[in-house]
Structure formats: structure tokens, C-alpha cells
């Protein structure tokens, strides 16, 4: 790329550009960020697998209430450890140019804590608890009420859980979602 010190070949960059919502320059920038998390390891192997704890050093992820879920969803080995490609995938989904559908799908997986392909009552509870943070606690009945309200709004088929179609329907109607579900590289 004319910089001389790039760890990537032109072909690899082209692949990354085709597969993500980034340009080559942004891919390189993402790699810099990735490298900053663990300079030694990534210096040796550009696609090194970093443990989840290292990935969570990334500022936006550090304070995110769903940080562990995000890592798990994007990790190719499903245990939260991410290679550079996983990281790039994550950033690409969170980037501004990613379409709503892609964002919605990943959001669905992030919010689906127990992995049963439905956002059920327990998932909703977990989401609400995490949103309020560690210090502020809503009472049990309040959370119950909130979960019930969410289901009342969105659960079109009354099965007590949100399927992906229902979730997508909500996201379609929500104008804020695309603004908030975004991490600037």
C-alpha cells in the first residue's frame, strides 16, 4: 500500500475490502487498532488470536454492557477470543455503512443470551439489568413489568418470546437503532 510496513498483501486487502463495509485504508486502520491491543502478538502474526480480555480493552467495548456477548457473537471459535478477521467483521458490522438488516441480525444474536434463537423472558431481563448498570437496580417487579410491556409491544404471535422476524420488525420501526448501534473506527 505504499507504506512499506504493511503486513498485508494487496490481494488480502482487496479481499477484506470486498468482504466488509470498509475501504482498504480503513482495513489497515482497523488493523492498527487491533495491533494496539497487543502489539507483540500481532506483530508476529497479523491474524493472531487474542483472548477476550484483551479485546475488551478496546475503549468502546470496555464500557459496553454487552461486551462479552459482542465478543462471543463475533468470535469464530465461539468462546470470545477473536482473531483479526473476527475483529474486522465486528467493526464492519458496527460501521456506519453497514445496512440495517446486518446490524439487526447481529444485535439479535447479541441480545439472545441463551442462544435459543428467540429473545425470551430471561434474555430480556438480562438486557434490562445490563442496561441499568451495576449500581442502579430496578426491583424485580419493575423488571417483570418492563419485560411484559416489551412483549406486549413486539410479540405479535403471543408466544412469550421474540423471534428474529419480530425483532427485525421493531428495528425497522426504530429510527434511533441505526444511530446507536454503531462504533466509530
Partner 1 sequence: MSGGNSKNKSRSKRHEGWEEAGGEFYQELYPGGEQELFDNLQRADAAKLATLLPSKQARNKNLSNEERTWEEIMQIKAMPNATKLRLQGFEQLQWRQRKIWHRFRSRCGEIMGKLELWQSSLREIEGKFGTGVVAYFLFLRWLFFLNMAISSFVILFLILPKVLLVENLEECIDENSTICCSEAYFTRNWTRNNVILDLIQGTGLMERTILFYGVYSAQIYSFFINSWETELFYNMPMAYILVPISWALLSLVAIVKTGAKGFKERLVENEGQFYVYCNLVFGGWDFCIHNEKSAKIKHKAIYNEFKGLLEEERIKEEKQLRTKESNILMHLRRLLVNILVLVILLLSGVLIYFAFNHSMYWLDEQMAQENEFVNRTEGKVFLGDYRESAFSIGRFQNTLLEFLPFLCIVVLNIIVPEIFGFLIKYENYTPARVIVITLLRTVLLRLSAFAVLLSQIYIQVTNPNRVFCAVFTDESRLDCWETYVGQQLYKLILTDFALQFFMTFIINFPRSLVARHSNSTCLKVIGTQGFYLPKHVLDIVYVQTIIWMGAFFCPFLPIIGTIFTFLIFYVKKFACLVNSTPSPIVYKASKSKSLFMSVLLLGFIISIAPVAYSVAEIMPSVNCGPFRGFNTVWEYVVVTFESFPKFIREVIFLLGTSTFAVPAFAVLLFLLYYYCAVAAANRHMVTVLKNQLVLEGHDKQFLLNRLSAFIRQHQKRCDRRNRASFADDDSIQNSSR
All cell numbers assigned to 50: 487474542
Judged by CB, which is closer to partner 1: 3, or 165?
165
| Among candidate residues 58, 62, 9, the one with its CA nearest the CA of residue 32 | 58
Q: Radius of gyration (Cα) for the chain, nearest Å?
A: 18
Instruction: Output the smallest distance, CB 151 to partner 1, in A.
Output: 9
Q: How far apart are the first and last CA of the chain?
A: 20
Q: Is 51 helix (H, G, I), strand (E, B) or coil?
A: coil
Applying CB under 8 A, the residues found at the interface with partner 1 are 15, 18-19, 23, 59-60, 62-66, 94, 96-97, 105, 107-108, 111, 117-118, 124, 127-128, 131-133, 135-136, 138, 142, 145-146, 149-150, 153-154, 156-159, 163-165, 167, 170-171, 173-174, 176-177, 180-184
Instruction: Output the smallest distance, CB 173 to partner 1, in A.
Output: 5
Judged by CB, which is closer to partner 1: 42, or 124?
124
Instruction: Output the smallest distance, CB 44 to partner 1, in A.
Output: 26
| Among candidate residues 91, 96, 80, the one with its CA nearest the CA of residue 29 | 91
Amino acid at each position: 500500500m505504499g507504506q512499506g510496513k504493511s503486513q498485508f498483501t494487496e490481494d488480502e486487502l482487496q479481499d477484506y475490502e470486498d468482504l466488509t463495509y470498509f475501504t482498504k485504508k480503513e482495513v489497515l486502520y482497523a488493523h492498527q487498532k487491533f495491533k494496539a491491543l497487543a502489539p507483540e502478538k500481532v506483530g508476529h502474526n497479523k491474524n493472531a488470536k487474542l483472548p477476550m480480555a484483551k479485546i475488551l480493552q478496546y475503549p468502546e467495548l470496555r464500557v459496553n454492557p454487552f461486551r462479552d456477548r459482542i465478543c462471543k457473537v463475533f468470535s469464530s471459535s465461539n468462546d470470545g477470543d477473536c482473531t483479526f478477521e473476527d475483529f474486522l467483521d465486528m467493526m464492519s458490522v458496527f460501521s456506519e455503512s453497514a445496512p440495517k438488516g446486518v446490524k439487526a441480525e447481529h444485535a439479535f444474536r447479541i441480545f439472545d443470551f441463551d442462544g435459543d434463537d428467540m429473545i425470551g423472558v430471561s434474555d430480556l431481563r438480562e438486557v434490562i439489568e445490563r442496561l441499568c448498570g451495576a449500581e442502579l437496580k430496578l426491583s424485580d417487579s419493575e423488571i417483570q413489568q418492563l419485560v411484559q410491556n416489551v412483549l406486549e409491544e413486539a410479540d405479535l404471535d403471543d408466544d412469550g418470546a421474540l423471534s428474529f422476524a419480530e425483532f427485525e420488525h421493531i428495528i425497522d420501526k426504530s429510527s434511533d437503532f441505526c444511530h446507536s448501534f454503531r462504533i466509530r473506527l
